[in-house]
Amino acid sequence: MQIAEPERTLSGRSNGPVPREYLTFRLRAEEYGIDILKVQEIRGYENPTRIANAPSFIKGVINLRGVIVPIVDLRIKFGLGDAEYNEFTVVIILNVHDRVVGMVVDSVSDVLELAPSDVREAPDLSAVVDASYIIGLGTVAERMLILVDIERLVSAPDMAIVA
């Protein structure tokens, strides 16, 4: 599922091979894609237990079958206006670097397979996600997906997840 050959269309911004299958989700108007292998599951939003003095984008922790999992709201983190929590709100549970973390997004779309030829370099495409976390731009049919290295993003110091 992962390919190891170097991608000529990319400038090697991310570490390791380029993923082939992406989970796509929306944050406001933009659509993003992340490596499906980092996704553990997708859940509806449940009110987390608040943690005092945590950054505002860390909503708290939830009980995921006995494991305590922090929940990050990307909409708040990237300053995308008011975040709503209703029956359509989705939480993507990620498993990165042996940590389980949940991130709140507006909605989840589907899983797409992208061939290397579908992916182009696009460093400054997203207004919200720092260029260093963007793998590239994926195009499928009429859709444009901002492909994000979610592992790096979640582990970043300003995410305040990793001590």
Contact segment (CB under 8 A) with another protein among 42-50, 81-89, 128-136, 139-147 equals: 42-50
The residue from 26, 43, 99, 120 that contacts another protein (CB under 8 A) is 99
- CB-nearer residue toward another protein: 3 or 68: 68
Closest CA to 148 of 11, 6, 7, 36: 36
**Tokens (6 digits) for 162:** 């990793």
Give yes or no for residue 56 binding another protein (CB under 8 A).
Answer: no
How many residues bind another protein (CB under 8 A)? The answer is 24
For 131-150, the DSSP string reads GGGEEEEEEETTEEEEEE-H
Q: How far apart are CA 41 and CA 17, in angstroms?
A: 23
The two beta strands, 99-105 and 67-73, are: parallel
Q: Which residues contact 56 (CB under 8 A, 6 or more apart)?
A: 76
Give yes or no for residue 156 binding another protein (CB under 8 A).
Answer: no
- CB-nearer residue toward another protein: 6 or 44: 44
Least separation, in Å, of the C-beta of 67 and another protein? 7
The residue from 10, 37, 61, 108 that contacts another protein (CB under 8 A) is 61
Which residues are near another protein by CB under 8 A?
Answer: 48-54, 60-63, 65-70, 99-101, 160-163
